[in-house]
Amino acid sequence: MKAKCPKCRNEAVVDEEMTKVGCSHCGFSSSYESYLETMKGIAQNMSDDYQANLDKSGF
């Protein structure tokens, strides 16, 4: 299965057992559970940044 690398943003790969995520572009490697937590944090940061920009713009 394909995934997005949290380190370089290129395509990473999840192994067939859904236990490891690896990126051949930058060498990122992680357990699947740790990868999900990392991506959850990235998504939360993106959401917070978007909300902060909306608050500044007056919407």
- pLDDT 10s digits, 36-46: 999 999 999 89
Question: Structure pTM?
Answer: 0.77
What mean pLDDT is predicted for residues 48-52? 86
User: Starting at the edge strand that comes first in sequence, how are the strands of the sheet with 29-31 ordered?
Assistant: 2-4, 11-14, 20-22, 29-31
Q: Which two tokens stand for residue 56?
A: 């500044």
Please give the residue range of the domain that contains residue 24: 2-57
Q: Determine the Cα–Cα distance for residues 24 and 37; give it in Å rounded to an integer.
A: 20
Domain count across the chain: 1
Q: Residue 31: what pLDDT?
A: 98
5-38 tens-digit pLDDT: 999 999 999 999 999 999 999 999 999 999 999 9
**How far from chain centre, in Å, is Cα 21?**
11
Q: In terms of C-beta density within 10 A (0-12 exposed, 13-18 middle, 19 or more buried), how is residue 38 classed?
A: middle
- Using the predicted structure, report yes or no on whether residue 50 has a pLDDT greater than 90: no
Q: Residue 59: what pLDDT?
A: 61
